[in-house]
């Protein structure tokens, strides 16, 4: 069948490595048909050697996804055409074994589970690599001070270690969810025409169990033709992974703005010596391409998930249209989530941190991020509300005239008078305006995230 054709945008959106295109679907469908033949032989429902014959044909016959796809228009899915070609490729005494007891949805749904297994395995690996990169950053910058920002405006001081610890925890929790679905929710589909396996008589459940064994998938309580919760579970963990990755990517793009300059991607280039991050028009540009690529991938995830959730309402024993609507969005969701994770591993493993710029940006705020701490200093003497109002006036004055919060507090007679009346000295103000003394539990939280990450690896 050959390798997948590399598309124009695949370098961005298909970076994860787990195949979900036409050839991967076809391979998974053929693997399912081969496993079914082996299960039938093991159950005594097919002649000796039939399982091996079908398996060999499924592995070696020259099936053409394009030709099968064109013939899919005749039946509404590609399985009937595939079954016809597979029967031609096996010895005559094995032809009746091909697809026995199955319906088209059994083959496609089981193939979808095989695709999901491969994709989730790769996703888990890349999430783990991205998390390891975050752990290195969190440990190295546990005490690196920077401005905390809320609603995109300066808040109180934080550490970059805490920022990276937040990324780390999000990735670890996403990986845990992937592992749970990978272990428990990927199940074989085998129900026959309407979920009863009537064509196999009393042997149906035994064949289903053997098929699950052959493929290494879970055996469900009963066929799930019109119960799409397994598809939604896969979609949900992809959405969770995308959320964790997009959080990192968005932060990186903001921190990497030239006006901020606190982070930058390490760059890299192609084998031809092309520089990553350049612009076709502006020679000076150094764009955070990996973070941007993550956001390009993850921005597509909600729409794909929504389609799969909408398609979960399926009528009677087999759906008319809703099942068909799942195939491409499901594969696309696995593909773009995997690509985002692969980019994420690259971002966190090569991020360049500028602690000096972080401190400079913190200092450039003129002490305003410490206004909360100064207000706390005044609470015993003035009460919480009055202390808050006084420091708010001092902050507004500092911004209006372009001075530091210290200069405003000590230089405006009215404000200085309140401080004198409260018994607050300039030395106390200086101490309150030291960001190193107002990091709260940032270090402890960072340590907790690192400890939790280490325990996951034991």
Classified as helix, coil or strand, 439 is coil
Q: How far apart are CA 385 and CA 374, in angstroms?
A: 13
Query: What end-to-end distance do the CA atoms of the chain give, in Å?
Result: 41
Which residue out of 279, 384, 426, 441 is catalytically annotated? 279
378 within 8 A of 417, measured Cβ to Cβ = no
- The catalytic residue among 318, 357, 359, 393 is 318
DSSP one-letter code for 14: S
As a whole number of angstroms, the distance between CA 75 and CA 73 comes to 6
SS3 assignment, position 430: helix
Residue 1 DSSP code? -
142 carries an active-site annotation: no
DSSP 8-state assignment for residue 72? H
CB 72 within 8 A of CB 192: no
Residue closest to 347 by CA, chosen among 148, 87, 164, 118: 164
**CA–CA distance, 340 with 172 (Å, rounded to integer):** 15
Cβ atoms 430, 437 nearer than 8 A: no
Distance between CA atoms of 349 and 265, rounded to whole angstroms?
Answer: 10
Q: Is 318 a catalytic residue?
A: yes
Q: Which residues are catalytic?
A: 279, 318
């Amino acid at each position: 069948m050959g390798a997948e054709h590399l598309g124009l945008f695949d370098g961005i959106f298909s970076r994860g490595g787990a195949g979900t295109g036409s050839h991967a679907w076809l391979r998974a469908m053929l693997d399912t048909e081969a496993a079914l033949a082996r299960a039938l032989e093991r159950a005594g429902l097919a002649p000796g050697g039939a399982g091996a014959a079908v398996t060999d044909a499924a592995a070696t016959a020259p099936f053409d996804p394009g030709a099968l796809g064109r013939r899919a228009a005749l039946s509404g899915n590609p399985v009937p055409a595939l079954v016809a070609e597979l029967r031609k490729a096996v010895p005559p005494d094995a032809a009746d074994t091909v697809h026995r007891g199955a319906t088209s949805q059994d083959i496609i749904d089981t193939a979808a589970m095989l695709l999901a297994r491969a994709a989730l395995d790769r996703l888990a690996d890349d999430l783990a690599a991205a998390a390891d990169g975050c752990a290195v950053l969190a440990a190295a910058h546990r005490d690196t001070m920077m401005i905390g920002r809320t609603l995109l405006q300066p808040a109180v001081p934080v550490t970059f270690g805490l920022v990276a610890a937040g990324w780390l925890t999000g990735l670890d929790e996403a990986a845990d969810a992937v592992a749970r679905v990978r272990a428990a929710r990927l199940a074989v589909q085998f129900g026959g025409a309407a979920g009863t396996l009537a064509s196999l008589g009393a042997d149906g459940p035994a064949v289903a169990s053997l098929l699950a064994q052959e493929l290494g998938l879970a055996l469900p309580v009963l066929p799930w033709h019109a119960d799409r919760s397994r598809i939604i579970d896969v979609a949900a963990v992809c959405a969770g992974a995308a959320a964790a990755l997009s959080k990192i990517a968005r932060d990186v793009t903001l921190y990497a703005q030239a006006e901020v300059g606190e982070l930058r991607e390490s760059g890299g280039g192609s084998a031809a010596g092309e520089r990553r991050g350049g612009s076709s028009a502006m020679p000076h540009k150094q764009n955070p391409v990996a973070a941007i690529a993550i956001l390009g991938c993850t921005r597509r995830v909600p729409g794909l998930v929504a389609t799969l959730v909408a398609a979960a309402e399926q009528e009677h024993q087999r759906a008319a249209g809703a099942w068909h609507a799942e195939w491409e969005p499901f594969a696309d969701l696995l593909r773009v989530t995997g690509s985002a994770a692969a980019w994420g591993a690259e971002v966190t493993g090569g991020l360049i941190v500028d602690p000096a710029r972080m401190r400079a940006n913190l200092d450039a705020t003129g002490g305003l991020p410490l206004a909360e701490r100064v207000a706390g200093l005044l609470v015993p003497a003035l009460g919480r509300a009055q202390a808050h109002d006084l420091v708010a006036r001092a902050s507004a004055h500092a911004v209006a005239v372009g001075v530091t919060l210290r200069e405003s507090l000590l230089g405006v007679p009215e404000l200085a008078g309140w401080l004198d009346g409260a018994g607050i000295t300039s030395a106390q103000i200086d101490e309150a305006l030291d960001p190193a003394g107002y990091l709260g539990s940032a270090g402890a939280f960072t340590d907790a995230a690192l400890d939790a990450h280490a325990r996951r690896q034991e």
